[in-house]
Amino acid sequence: MQRWNNRVAVVTGASSGIGAACVKYLANNGMITVGLARRKERVEELKTGSNSDRIHAIRCDVQKEEDVIAAFKEIEEKYGPVSVLVNNAGITRHSDLLKEGNTEDIRAVIETNVLGIVWCTREAFRSMKQSPNGDGHVFLINSVLGHQVLNFPLNIYAPSKYAVTALTEMYRQEFLNNETKIKITSISPGGVLTEFMSATEEEIAGMSFLASEDVADALIYCLQTPPNVQIHELTIKPIGETF
């Protein structure tokens, strides 16, 4: 992690779960870490011990392009160019695609899980190009549901994650075409036990889950790879997961 020391990392959806764990892990590994979230106060609560001066919070709704543009402008003005972006913000809705009156749910998922990544990665890329190192690393927190569709009533969630899988390859090609040294990594976890999960205790009884920290640990592993190594896709499943 030495080459990332005191450089700027941005994490979206940073108020809880995987995002919050990534904020803490990046800060503890020496990066100036900015958490973007609608619940800015939750990111502020992550400041503990020796990492307190390396964690910063900005209120941002990634569904809103204007919020994203303003947030990255503030980051550059206060902390410098972005070196690492963790596109973690994501939502799901538990309903069927055929259900009447579901327009708002569908739109919210697409705008957060897909367009949010597009807005943030575009702004981060512009910032990364300004770095004297000419490098950077973009992460897309994907899902195993971005590679297989299971019989869950998750509305447009799985298709949105399939889009993330396609975006990973599109960004790899565009970073290459722009002659940059910026890496792209998709991390696809299986079940992760966070407040994001709305299932009841009875529904998840006997199931296997990852912790948010498991995903953050994998992210740090990817960051430590040599400059010539790019982990394009990393799938993580808990022992005992049955799908």
Q: Write out the catalytic residue numbers.
A: 157
Under 8 Å between Cβ of 178 and 132: no
Q: How many Å apart are CA 20 and CA 18, to the nearest integer?
A: 6
| Coil, helix or strand at residue 182 | strand
Strands (E), the chain: 8-12, 32-37, 55-59, 82-87, 135-141, 181-189, 233-236
Contact, 155 vs 96, CB < 8 A?
yes
Q: Angle at Cα 240 formed by Cα 22 and Cα 157, nearest 5°?
A: 55
3-state secondary structure of 36: strand
How many Å apart are CA 43 and CA 14, to the nearest integer? 6
